[in-house]
A and B are shown apart, each in its own frame.
Chain A
């Protein structure tokens, strides 16, 4: 069966520090991968998506970046965090035959101080 992991689960970082959030998927090949951010009590904002290794599409211009070094690994990064980067970050994947259903990871709660 397919599973999706995200780590860390919780992170507290100072303003100006770097960031690296990791997402990995097991049990499937060549998934489409997505990074979302959710502010408290709000909906989801799509940040990046990837249809293959090294292929990244950005939906929102910001100081974040994403990379996909391996088929089932998706990384969200920043060189210098801003206060506005605080939020709940969700990774999701869609398989070839999953009827466009997105499967979400458990999320990472990021607080920038």
Chain B
């Protein structure tokens, strides 16, 4: 069965600095999508970034980028120039035939 592992329950970063959140997954499928979702204190789940497995190029959305290593089954999220509004729980999500969520990483941004 597919699993998603986020090994960092909590992370902190100084405002304006860069932080990387880790995610690994296990799958035997060749075609799938990977996502990072953000859940701020309001608890609304917000899409941060998406990566299609068939694309070699790493996805980028403004200050957010991923390092997708398909062979290693790794999908890390890099947040550059961290802002106070980035403080949230971040979930790594795998989807092929089903959706699988990691346990989340709580990110604190220090002013």
Contact = CB atoms under 8 A, between A and B. Distances in A.
Given A43-B104, A44-B101, A104 B44 contact: yes
Interface in A56-113: 88, 90, 92, 99-102, 104, 106-107, 109
A48 interface: no
B44 A100 contact: no
Contacts of A100: 33, 95
Contact of B50 (A34, A38, A42, A101): A101
> Interface range on chain B: under 10, 10 to 19, 20 to 34, or 35 or more?
10 to 19
B40 to A, nearest CB: 12
Contacts of A106: 43-44
Contacts of B43: 38, 88, 106-107, 109
Contact of A43 (B47, B52, B91, B95): B91
B44 A101 contact: no
Contacts of A41: 106
Interface residues of A, number: 18
A104 B91 CA distance: 13
A102 B98 CA distance: 11
Contacts of A101: 33, 35, 47, 50
Interface of A: 34, 38, 41-44, 46, 88, 90, 92, 99-102, 104, 106-107, 109
Given A34-B99, A92-B45, A99-B50, 19 more contacts: A38-B43, A42-B103, A43-B91, A43-B102, A43-B104, A44-B101, A46-B98, A46-B101, A90-B45, A100-B33, A101-B35, A101-B47, A102-B35, A102-B45, A102-B95, A102-B99, A106-B44, A107-B44, A109-B43
